[in-house]
Amino acid sequence: MLELHNIAKTYNGVGAVRSVTLHVTRGEFVTLLGPSGCGKTTTLRMIAGFIKPDSGSITLNGRTLSDVQTGVFVPPEQRGMGMVFQSYAVWPHMTVFNNVAYPLRLQRQPREQMQRRVHNVLRLVALEGYEKRYPHQLSGGQQQRVALARALVASPQVMLLDEPLSNLDARLRDTMRYEIVDLQKRLGITVVYVTHDQAEAMAISDRIVVMRAGEVLQIDTPRVIYSRPEQRFVADFVGAANFIPCTISAHDVDRVRVRLKTGQELWVAAPHSAVVGDSAVLMTRPEQMTVVALPDAHLTATVTRIAYLGDRLEIELAADGLKLRAVTTTHDEALVPGDHIGLRLNDAVLLPESG
Amino acid sequence: MFRPTAQLITLLTGGALFLLLIAIVAYPSLTLVYSTFVTDDGLSLSNYGALLTDADALPVLWNTLVVALFTTLGATPLGVLLAWLMERVRLPFQRLWNSLLIVPYLIPPFIGAIAWVYLLGPVGYLNRLWMDFTGTREPFAVIYGSAGIIFVMILYSYPIAYFITRGPMRQLSGALEEAARISGARPLQVLTQITLPLLLPNIAASAVLIFMAAMANFGIPAVIGFPARYFVLTNEIYQVILNFDRPNNLQIAAAMSMQLVLIGLLALLVLQRLQAQRDYTLVTGKSAPALPLEAGRWKYVAMLLVVFIVLVAVVLPLLAIGAAAITRAPGVPLTLETASLRHFETLFFDIPKVPRAFVNSFLLAGGAATLIAILSLAIGYLTVRLKMRGSRLMDLLVTLPYALPETVVALAMILTFLRPLPVLGVTLYNTIWILVIAYVASFLAFGVRSVSAAFRNIDPALEEAARISGAGRGAAFRDVTLPLIRESVLSGWFLAFMPALTELTLSALLVSVGNETIGQVVFGFYQEGRFNVTAALAFTVTVMVLVLSLLVNRFTRRRDWTV
């Protein structure tokens, strides 16, 4: 539905976005995730039409919005999208009603229809009765809803959200994020969402686009991004990760045997490209590291710190110059710092050494 | 369908603005500099030579620096002290004192000077009172001369420091001062060791602005210095310009004006350094403001000081002009029987140039302010919102005349527009248009500063939200940006209108018969020694200015849109 093909943008010789290709299907919730400066907002603003790409093309339902080769460039007002800005950008001189009605007014819709649609969308975001208020009379969360209503009122095919929750306090952020997803599913709208908050991205997205330094590293569902990251950066950015150096000692049809520094060997699921003798990195999530009796262990480590967090126990470990983190939900182990324990790596992922 | 692209429109508007700024700022400035080298024998340095051999030249420069320096040294601490008192000591009738303390800023300085001649001239009211009281024939003090100039300048320029430091003083986080108190500092130590050092960039900036204003002022030394044959650069240049018998008088005046240009540019440079520095101060809007001090007995001392300043800067001068305006003739004692309004009658019914001057000044100031508002809107949009290439140069062209004394601007205008315009063949000198140009050039910075600040305060996302809602560039500007900056455009209009309305310096040099302005007519009457008529007109102008300011305040009060 929304297709970005090799789009790029350079500022003063620095590539803010380098060749991003992305296909968003109808009704999908796609999140651009990455640290600040990764190009996610630039990409979103190219979709909106606020930034003209230096190369590549953008199409929506087969209609070309931007194509550097043919010189086609549709200005933002003709793209039929809705957008929610980080600063809300609710117009301070207009009432809630006028803010939300503005897109319809530009379409010169008849008054009655306009009122009905504004009313409907305000009910959707639970702002009924606030029509005559001015933005400065609203809380941050309410302003956020006004911005959302304004983005939705004209029934856009695509809604763009640029870190919409980053100005809200933590509790409100949690409720708003689910409200946004609920609305999106109910209306069947296509959403491109930008955030640097990985937990937010995991919670709401159908698919996540992980970006770094203007490049797309991986596009997949939250589940796959978390459990099968393709690069060290992705693993590290999305959730906590332990990285353990290893060398490849053998490979099978769809799995690889790796040798740890301790001499222990284990099988992991991995691509065929692995070459015997190469060094690589094993990634495991803290909750996939289990404490076992020494003979069964892949690794031995010394407990350096233990934090009791109620629902779980966080264990910091030192093993052979590595700092590791394990999380366990079973509290029966009577561990204390200084203990020498054995660790098993479950569901480990083999990653290239760099990146 | 062909539609001109946004870039094309930007390019054309930007180009037109540059052409205009070149025509009214850059070209006159270059003409001024060039003229300093023009002599009967071609280009040479002999105009500067005339300056060096002139026995008066050095003393006049010295006088200028002395007046500007002492005014700065007096007005800056006074303004800062008053700001501190109003912010940190809770006085009775706080709001009233605040309004009264800024009145001197609204009164045209040369009218303030005239008022003080009525008070402390050789036969001024205060001196007569003194002589009656003590029985001597010697006046208490005569205002004429350097001390009088400095005294009056301090009275009319302390509000600059008051304005500039009061806001930051209020926004200064209370916690910074409280931390000092809890560490054991007494209120006065907090002031000298915490508050003032934190505000140093603001205080320094106001000192530079006061210095610039004092150096550039023409009216006060013209009124008070002339009787004592005490000249500063602005007056001296004025004399040379009007001395048509002297060969090359304009070129020599231009050479003299270079002293003011250099000092002005230097001051501007320092000012911009200071403004850049101000961003680093710990002034935040979020934390709680400092609580007023429990001043105890000192409160009455503070009160006394404020009352004294209000008395000296506002009440006495207004009383003096008012009294002189209704006194039948000079020397006649003012009693209920001798009081009359006949001077006001004379003014508006017997002297045709007076009503004419009012019409002219309102049209000139209104026209110039309107042009300035439109230009400011375009300049603000191009430089702040679109960050057009050449924005810095445009800012420079807007700010340049602001650094130059109006005497110098007027001279540059004369030198540029004395001859017919190229191509058009029209001569602007001796027409009202040269004043329009001079006003726009001189007061443009006020409008641009107000409007640019407004643009800077508006999140670009507000306009983008309109674009994505379906509005084109024009509609987004019309529906979102314009309503949000309307108040600032209006206040920019007034910021240019008010000084232009009663301005003296430019019109003193550029006015022609039939195109008189208010300021120049008041000054003319004063020079002709028409004691009572001057007072009646000065009183009318002062009341008019105060009423207008009150109205402006009413109408431009910002709505609370802060999100």
CATH label of the domain that carries residue B412: 1.10.3720.10
B193-224 residue pLDDT tens: 888 888 888 899 999 999 999 999 999 999 99
Report yes or no on B312 lying in a domain: no
C-beta atoms of A160 and B462 within 8 A: no
Tokens of B346: 């004379």
Whether A136 and B467 lie within 8 Å, measured CB to CB: no
User: How far, in Å, CA of A198 to CA of B229, rounded?
Assistant: 78
Q: Do B468 and A76 touch (CB under 8 A)?
A: yes
By CB atoms closer than 10 A (0-12, 13-18, 19+), residue A180 is: buried
Whether B474 and chain A come into contact, CB under 8 Å, resolves to: no
Ramachandran sector of residue B184 (left: φ over 0; alpha: ψ -120 to 50; beta: rest): left
Angle at B213 between CA B212 and CA B219, to 5 degrees: 140
pLDDT band, residue A212 (cuts 50/70/90): very high
- Tell me whether residue B256 is in a domain: yes
Closest partner residue to B462 (CB to CB) among A91, A107, A143 is A91
Q: Say how far apart CA B505 and CA B220 lie, in whole Å.
A: 11
Q: Residue B480: list chain A partners with CB under 8 A.
A: 91
B304, B329, B349 — which closes off a domain? B304
Q: Is B478 on the interface with A (CB under 8 A)?
A: no
User: Which pLDDT score, from 0 to 100, does residue A332 have?
Assistant: 59
pLDDT recorded at residue A211: 94
Chain A residue with CA closest to B469: the answer is A103
pLDDT band at B280 (very low <50, low <70, confident <90, very high): very low
Report chain B's mean pLDDT, rounded to a whole number: 86
Q: Residue B190: its pLDDT value, please?
A: 80
Give CA separation, B131 vs B128, B147, B320, in Å.
Answer: 5, 21, 17
Answer with the one of B256, B287, B304 that is the final residue of a domain: B304
**Does residue B311 fall inside a structural domain?**
no
**Residue B556: its pLDDT value, please?**
66
Q: How far apart are CA B268 and CA B275, in angstroms?
A: 10
| Pick from B473, B480, B561: CB nearest A136 | B561
Q: Are B4 and B98 found together in one domain?
A: no
Which residue would you say has higher pLDDT here, A349 or B556?
A349
Whether residue B408 lies inside any domain: the answer is yes
> In chain A, pLDDT over 70 holds for what percent of residues?
98
Q: Are B199 and B83 in contact (CB under 8 A)?
A: no
Distance from CA of A212 to the nearest CA of B (A): 24
Angle between helix B57-88 and B94-101 (nearest 10)? 170
Torsion sign, CA atoms A173, A175, A177, A180: negative
B383 part of a folded domain: yes
Do B90 and B173 share a domain, yes or no? yes
Residue A277 has a CB neighbour count (10 Å cut-off) of 8
The three-state secondary structure class of B172 is strand
The arithmetic mean of pLDDT across residues A190-209, rounded, is 93
How far apart, in whole angstroms, are the C-alpha atoms of residue B19 and residue B15? 6
Chain B residue with CA closest to A78: the answer is B470
Do B84 and B31 have their domain in common? Answer: no
The tokens 């019914």 sit on which residue? B349
Q: pLDDT tens, B228-247?
A: 899 999 999 999 999 888 88
Return the residue of A nearest to B487 by Cα. A93
Is B316 inside any structural domain? no
Tell me the per-residue pLDDT of A106-158, one tens digit each, with 9 for 90 and over.
888 899 999 999 999 999 888 999 999 998 889 888 998 999 999 999 889 89
Same domain, B213 and B270: yes
- Residue numbers of the domain that contains B165: 53-122+139-304
**The three-state (H, E, C) secondary structure of B465-529, written as one string:** HHHHCCCCHHHHHHHHHHHHHHHHHHHHHHHHHHHHHCCCHHHHHHCCCCCCCHHHHHHHHHHCC
Same domain, B116 and B230: yes
Q: Which two tokens stand for residue A63?
A: 């209609």
* One domain for residues B471 and B560: yes
Across the interface, which of A81, A82, A92 has its CB nearest the CB of B561? A92
User: Are A260 and A284 contacting, i.e. CB atoms less than 8 angstroms apart?
Assistant: no
C-alpha pair distances (Å), A148 with each of A30, A98, A121, A184, B413? 17, 14, 9, 11, 56
The arithmetic mean of pLDDT across residues B440-458, rounded, is 91
Q: What is the rounded distance in angstroms from the CA atom of residue B240 to the CA atom of residue B248? A: 10
CA distance A116 to chain B (A): 18
The average pLDDT across B277-283 equals: 51
Phi and psi at A7, nearest 5°, equal: -80, 150
Contact B465 A150 (CB under 8 A): yes
How many Cα neighbours within 13 Å face the side chain of B125?
A: 17
B304, B333, B365: which is the final residue of a domain?
Answer: B304
Write down the pLDDT at residue B94. 82
Q: Which residue of A has its CA nearest to B480?
A: A91
Distance from CA of B561 to the nearest CA of A (A): 6
DSSP string, B268-288: HHHHHHHHHHGGGS-B-SSSP
Contact (CB<8Å) A77/B471: yes
Q: In sequence order, what are the beta bridge partners of A327?
A: A314
Give chain A's contact residues with B (Cβ, < 8 Å): 48-50, 75-83, 85-93, 102-103, 106-107, 134-136, 143, 147, 150-151, 154, 160
In which region does residue A72 sit, left (phi positive, over 0), alpha (psi from -120 to 50) or beta (all else)?
beta
End-to-end CA distance of chain B: 40
Q: What is the pLDDT of residue B310?
A: 93
DSSP 3-state of A262:
coil
Degrees, nearest 5: CA angle B551-B555-B557: 120
Residue B286: is its pLDDT beyond 50?
Answer: no
Which among A89, A135, A154 has the least Cβ separation from residue B461? A89
Any domain includes B210: yes
- The residues, any chain, with a CB within 8 Å of residue B533's CB and separated by 6 or more, are B343, B346, B347, B351, B525
Please determine, for residue A213, whether its predicted confidence score (pLDDT) is greater than 50.
Answer: yes
Phi/psi of residue A3, each to 5°?
Answer: -125, 125
- In B483-512, the residues whose Cβ lies within 8 Å of chain A are 483-484
B321 is a domain residue: no
Q: How far is A204 from chain B (nearest CA, A)?
A: 24
Q: Which sign does the torsion angle of CA A214, A219, A221, A225 carry?
A: negative
Best residue in A84, A102, A160, A168 for a mutation probing chain B (most B CBs within 10 Å): A102
If you count them, how many residues does chain B have? 563
The pLDDT value given to residue B1:
39
**pLDDT at residue A54 is higher than 60:** yes
* Inter-chain CB proximity B484 and A90 less than 8 Å: no
Distance CA B430, CA A73 (A): 54
Contacts of B467 in chain A (CB under 8 A): 49-50, 75-77
Has residue B179 got a pLDDT over 80? no
Residues in A closer than 8 angstroms to B454, CB to CB, are none
Chain B residue with CA closest to A87: the answer is B461
Instruction: Please check whether residue B7 touches A, CB under 8 A.
Output: no
If one counts every other C-beta atom within 10 angstroms of the C-beta of residue B105, the result is 17
Q: Nearest 5°: CA angle at A159, between A155 and A161?
A: 145
Mean pLDDT of B71-82: 95
Q: Which residues lie below 8 Å from residue B458, measured CB to CB, with a gap of 6+? A: B481, B484, B485
Cβ A87–B459 below 8 Å, yes or no? yes
Asked if residue B451 and residue B413 are part of one domain, the reply reads yes
Indicate yes or no: CB of B468 within 8 angstroms of CB of A134: no
For residue B560, the model assigns a pLDDT of 46
Same domain? For B86 and B17 the reply is no
For chain B positions 515-544, those within 8 Å of chain A (CB to CB) are none
Chain B residues close to A76, C-beta within 8 Å? 464, 467-468
Contact list, B475 vs chain A (CB under 8 Å):
77, 106
Interchain CB distance below 8 Å, B479 and A89: no
Nearest to A107 among B462, B470, B473 (CB): B470
Instruction: Single out the residue of B534, B152, B552 nearest to residue B365, CA to CA.
Output: B552
pLDDT of residue B316: 93
Mean pLDDT of B486-502: 90
**Sign of the alpha-carbon dihedral angle for A170, A171, A175, A178:** positive
Instruction: Test A92 with B471 for CB contact under 8 angstroms.
Output: no
- DSSP structure string for B330-376: TT----TTT---HHHHIIIII-THHHHHHHHHHHHHHHHHHHHHHHH
Structure tokens at A181: 């997803």
A222 phi, psi to nearest 5 deg: -55, -40
Task: Give the other-Cβ count within 10 Å of B276's Cβ.
Answer: 10
**CA atoms of B50 and B207, how far apart (whole Å):** 33
Distance from CA of B175 to the nearest CA of A (A): 24
Sequence-distant (6+) residues with CB within 8 A of B423 are none
Q: Which of B508, B502, B442 is nearest to B222 (CA)?
A: B508
CB contact under 8 A, A87 and B480: no
B466 vs A contacts (CB less than 8 Å): 91, 102
**A93–B484 C-beta distance less than 8 A:** yes
CA distance linking residue A56 with residue A19, whole number of Å = 8
- Average pLDDT over every residue of A209-236: 92
Q: Which residue of A has its CA nearest to B470?
A: A77
Number of domains in chain B: 2
Indicate the residue of B475, B480, B562 with minimum beta-carbon distance to A91. Answer: B480
Percent of chain B with pLDDT over 90: 44
Mean pLDDT of B32-48: 85
Local structure of residue A286 (DSSP, 8 states)? G
Contact B507, B519 (CB under 8 A): yes
Three-state SS at A290: strand
pLDDT value, residue B284: 46
Q: Are residues B291 and B411 in the same domain?
A: no
Is pLDDT above 80 for B29?
yes
For residue A211, the surrounding DSSP H or E stretch is: strand A207-212
Nearest by CB to B563, from A77, A136, A154: name it: A136
Q: What is the mean pLDDT of residues A323-351?
A: 82
If asked whether residues B76 and B189 sit together in one domain, one would say yes
Distance from A52 to chain B by nearest Cα, in Å?
Answer: 13
Let me know: does A6 contact A169? Beta carbons within 8 Å. no
Contact (CB, 8 A) for A91 and A83: no
| Same domain for B363 and B285 | no
Please name which of B220, B3, B563, B227 lies closest in space to residue A134, comparing C-alpha atoms: B563
Q: A268 near A348, Cβ under 8 Å?
A: yes
Which amino acid appears at position B431 of this protein? T
How far apart, in whole angstroms, are the C-alpha atoms of residue B322 and residue B115?
9
B259 lies in the same domain as B365: no
- Token pair in block for residue B228: 């004592």
CB contact under 8 Å between B468 and A154, yes or no, is no
Q: Which chain A residue shows the shortest CA-CA distance from B561?
A: A92
Residue B285 has pLDDT above 50, yes or no: no
The vertex-A212 CA angle with A206 and A214, nearest 5°, equals 105
Query: Could you tell me if B560 lies within 8 Å of chain A, comparing CB atoms?
Result: yes
What integer is the mean pLDDT of A264-269? Answer: 81
